[in-house]
Structure 1
């Protein structure tokens, strides 16, 4: 078929740098040099531009840079506090009391190494899942990575393409571009030759070509990103809660340190080195030094694990968002069903119409056909003798496409193909037949002759129902993904509500959903009749489970409505019509084979297009958030008992019972080492809000009981040993270790073989220190007699039993929620 091609001269507008904030004013200069836009650049021209640095090189922001990772793990509030205390101990000695500095160094190195591993995974996957625009070089189109584009390149545009550089439109065939990600305006912008296109937009209809005028850091989207440079994180209740805790601890340490040093100078007869050591021993355990590390570690390991399943997570804390998801919107086409289709039957409504020829002509019009048109193209050849004179590419908003042809006989006619209920008025007899086919799970398209010019219909889309004369119904078969039933069953078992959205008729969507056993499949909702008010829309969406005839803006509104009601929403999709909803969902999930615009808007991309990966994604998020919350109980318990012990010591005006080495030993065996394993353990419980409140409801009583048991054991030991500080410290250390180990045993539940082994190994490690003379000397532990040690054991048992009651009460409270 002869294609209608428009030739245009080079036009351009200079860009005022001060007009940067206005996208409409951000146009590049006229391309320099003798460039033939129809053929693209030659190899020599590309080499010349590369040599001048006029390439589209923009630093990848799929993850933080190496320098940012090192600084973020090294220059932390916790490291600053611990570092100061470490320097103080190194000055007064001995080196055994500076062991906590080695732990911080190890933790920092682990954090850096793990995040670098995650960065490599992110960058590698981002390169695989990135946009690959079609660029004309030496007269032929080639697919390049976005970084391969140079200034003056001629770039093709098709429906679904993401625009990766700024440029001037040369050829436009019904070209419409959505620039909502840049301007906030959701309505597509019609682009004509000479108009500007900006990086960050995406094509929603039509085709065209443009010449790159600004690349790399000069491009509009790149400069916007530069203004907001930094590692952008999704909203994280976990991170915010930990930050609040750290701010409180840091503020509390200042008066605690002053009070401790004054008290210890008094009780140690102005022995400054010993007073400093005891003061540091009181301050070090107040800092939950490993909590931030293990949070980052859990996120990073989650990214690596998902990366091995070909799942690209663009931001580490997005994994936390997965754990909180309670509602998933599933786009039917491409998610529940295969993206490809087959023509089932063509039902002619007018024997005089050459249906096969019309379908072949319409199929040949679409330069970037969707799944429906690809099936039609495969089934019906192009009648080469037909000449196209006008066309209207498919648009998700219109739900139809069309073209005007001069047929072989010389007659000019206009044809439309699209959704029957969009092209015909309600109650039309053909719609009943369409519903019958749709009830079988088939997609139904109507072929209609049009009595009005296409440009008139584009100006007044509502007029199409008066102009369309039905000629044939085309039914297409959709193939359900094999993995979809198991994935949907998993969501149901995990208490996650699934809602199916589609632009197809509600009857057709309901039939597909019924085949998958989804609730609400027999009562599909036609989204065209949903209320527009956000509160009413949220109520309607909450009641329904299967929705047909959902437009792009409606998908976005439905996501916003449920989020406003307090739901955490994930959205899956692969098409241009899903972009707005993907962008506004808490977590957007795109298929790797989807449009570049959908992949760019999503925070998670399933590169293998496997719906079966979604349960793994959800499970990984729950594992991370559940395990971080689990170990947070241990770290904050230590902070609480350290603060309370400091208060007791200051009020009682007695020597602080621990040196830093004792706290390092207890912390390593009851928190540091076990927390490392617990943070990476399997888990599937859905995350709940109020992270800080839940953790403190255990940490406050547990820390208070640990402090009480330790204080009583210490005071008894002072009576028994009468001034033997090493023996008194040993009794207090035994009591604190046993209570902390009991807390670990509670937090490690439900028990598995490796968790039981973990608790027993930590207990054995402490026994080893007590039994090996060299280790006893290093840690200055000496249990003598039976009265004080057994008193310490008794205090620990009473505190442990009380802690069991606290845990049981909290478990009943959690079950009642």
Structure 2
């Protein structure tokens, strides 16, 4: 171990100190919320009012010894088994939810670096984090410097520079550099653990059909036993029937009052819909979400991975207005393109923008100019730079950070172009000092527009929902102007009115914005959930799509949640529907199948109820008689 490493090792704990913290309950054990046990699932599905009523009737029939008349229990068993199997399957998927993917961490113990299981880390442990490592617990940097990707948690892809004193959130990844960081939170205190715990909390199934059927059963249960006593008394006490015959006759009449066939029909129709959707590359993880999706009237879309593919591309390269007048416009354009290509190709640790620029110039003639010095991108400076082999120096980054006080020279052009794409400025500088800062005068040359690749089918899919009367909201963590530009391209209504979510401070601000606007940028993960809850409070049935951990809380809160198979494990596990082919264009098929199944079920239920108990239908089943899916949504 070298001298520097020895100094860092002295920051670690001794084994005795670690054992004392474990004894004090300060270890990084998994203290997250667990889903219901298999026993609880079986109990909740078996011990229902519907099963109780039928079990009582079966026991009465058993008393007579006429076992063949107990065959109606087959329906109850089948319905119960369907519910148990579906819930256990969903439980196993949810239990696998974990934002922290690794199982080991490198910590300093007894003056040496040791590999430890995550649950053996304790508070105040010093962990070593290198390029590619995932942060195992909430920590604070004590030594070193690195760049961290927090997109898994926040949805923003920009790398963030971390220095001594800065916090590292559990679940983020070290993109470059090496740091020593002290553990400050363990177990359930960790940021990632809090998200996982909330995502694993049980959410009651919101099903209009289930509510109506339960209402019918409660109504029938209240009248069937007094009525059964009267029927038995009429048959037996009048002397017209023997005891067993009177019992069987009474039970037969009472069983006919219970809509057993309708309940089995509901489970069967939904199960068949699951099979049909699986053929369209859609995985259904919660049975009743098919009905919920059929009733959705607001669809919240996360931009990245849903409307867009998640990859970046160069839209155009344009000169800075007013600068080209001093030289030949073509010369300025060539210089800007040459510098962009050189910087992007020379970056040893390229971000999404650099990769897109390098791909854009891939087929350009000749080899890119070599760089004698590279200034890496910094989240503080918001630019990267390079000195070419011919001595010319250039920077590429956000215009307001590159130009500083001179930003007003290009502000109007930036505001106009920002609606089309994410902007990066390329500028010529005199040089760089020893710390990598810009030295001397600076001259802006041009802008490169970077945009997300829009899915070819996105506009058609948005048009489908518009035709079906479903309001579409675009919710993203990116710049609201960029989100607005993409929303406009795919035909989202009201895309010209965008909102910066960082300005929404109170619940009333959120409610007013949701009532009027359709495009939201700079949205934090907890705000996405707040948006869903506010829409539900306003009486809407909300569907949410997403693919990242930052979408997990909103997916959990939504009435129907849809995730992409290529997204994070957390998003897939918490979602009710998973698009296996990662294509948002599958959504119309899902909605159409759900509405076809539910409308057929409602028509069958109406006929069933009208024929069997028309004089005494309870108010709760009015939606089953009428159906509550608008006619324009049932095509």
**TM range, smaller chain:** 0.5 to 0.7
TM-score in terms of structure 2 length: 0.67
* CA shift in 2, pair 1:8/1:308, >3 Å: farther
| 1:83 maps to which of 30, 55, 59 | 55
Q: Cα distance, 1:557 vs. partner?
A: 4.7
Distance 1:585 1:205 in 2: 33
Q: What SS does the aligned partner of 2:286 have?
A: coil
Q: Answer yes or no: is the 8 Å Cα contact 1:204–1:576 preserved in 2.
A: no
Q: What SS does the aligned partner of 2:562 have?
A: strand
Any unmatched runs of 5+ in structure 2?
Answer: 107-116, 122-126, 155-159, 324-331, 362-367, 436-441
* CA shift in 2, pair 1:230/1:59, >3 Å: closer
Q: Cα distance, 1:102 vs. partner?
A: 1.6
Deviations 1:347-368 (A, max 9, x none): 56698999438843995456xx
Please tell me whether residue 520 in structure 1 is matched to residue 494 in structure 2. yes
* CA shift in 2, pair 1:618/1:427, >3 Å: farther
**Residue in 2 aligned with 1:27?**
28
Higher strand share: 2
Please tell me whether residue 499 in structure 1 is matched to residue 480 in structure 2. no
| 2:356 maps to which of 375, 378, 395 | 375
Q: Answer yes or no: is the 8 Å Cα contact 2:344–2:354 preserved in 1.
A: no
Distance 2:210 2:179 in 1: 45
Please tell me whether residue 302 in structure 1 is matched to residue 281 in structure 2. no
**Residue in 1 aligned with 2:411?**
431
Moved more, 266-275 or 529-538: 529-538
Q: Cα distance, 1:326 vs. partner?
A: 0.8
Please tell me whether residue 694 in structure 1 is matched to residue 622 in structure 2. yes
**Residue in 1 aligned with 2:114?**
none
| 1:392 maps to which of 356, 379, 382 | 379
Q: Cα distance, 1:475 vs. partner?
A: 1.3
* CA shift in 2, pair 1:425/1:356, >3 Å: same
Please tell me whether residue 341 in structure 1 is matched to residue 312 in structure 2. yes
Q: Answer yes or no: is the 8 Å Cα contact 1:285–1:638 preserved in 2.
A: no
| 1:591 maps to which of 564, 572, 580 | 564
Distance 2:164 2:497 in 1: 40
**Residue in 1 aligned with 2:457?**
483
Any unmatched runs of 5+ in structure 1?
Answer: 29-55, 139-148, 182-187, 394-399, 456-467, 645-689, 699-809
Q: Answer yes or no: is the 8 Å Cα contact 2:382–2:397 preserved in 1.
A: yes
**Residue in 1 aligned with 2:438?**
none
Q: Answer yes or no: is the 8 Å Cα contact 2:301–2:474 preserved in 1.
A: yes
**Residue in 2 aligned with 1:445?**
424
Q: Which has the larger radius of gyration?
A: 1
**Residue in 2 aligned with 1:732?**
none
Deviations 1:454-482 (A, max 9, x none): x9xxxxxxxxxxxx996752212543312
Q: Cα distance, 1:290 vs. partner?
A: 3.6
Please tell me whether residue 273 in structure 1 is matched to residue 244 in structure 2. yes
Describe how 1:113-152 pairs up with structure 2 within 5 A. Answer: 116=85, 133=101
| 1:612 maps to which of 585, 609, 632 | 585
Please tell me whether residue 92 in structure 1 is matched to residue 64 in structure 2. yes
Distance 1:257 1:334 in 2: 59
Deviations 1:4-40 (A, max 9, x none): x9995373656868987xxxx5536xxxxxxxxxxxx
Distance 2:59 2:388 in 1: 91
Greater RCO, 1 or 2 (C-alpha within 8 Å, sep 6+): 2
Distance 1:364 1:486 in 2: 39
Number of aligned positions between the proteins: 570
Distance 1:191 1:298 in 2: 57
Q: Answer yes or no: is the 8 Å Cα contact 2:28–2:119 preserved in 1.
A: no
**Residue in 1 aligned with 2:340?**
356
Q: Answer yes or no: is the 8 Å Cα contact 1:168–1:210 preserved in 2.
A: no
* CA shift in 2, pair 1:414/1:259, >3 Å: farther
Distance 1:402 1:166 in 2: 30
Distance 1:490 1:250 in 2: 44
Distance 2:502 2:152 in 1: 28
Q: Cα distance, 1:612 vs. partner?
A: 0.9
| 1:103 maps to which of 69, 72, 75 | 72
Q: What SS does the aligned partner of 1:27 have?
A: coil
Q: Cα distance, 1:587 vs. partner?
A: 3.1
Describe how 1:217-256 pairs up with structure 2 within 5 A. Answer: 232-256=203-227
Q: Answer yes or no: is the 8 Å Cα contact 2:317–2:446 preserved in 1.
A: yes
Q: Answer yes or no: is the 8 Å Cα contact 2:79–2:263 preserved in 1.
A: no
Q: What SS does the aligned partner of 1:612 have?
A: helix
TM-score in terms of structure 1 length: 0.54
Q: What SS does the aligned partner of 1:273 have?
A: helix
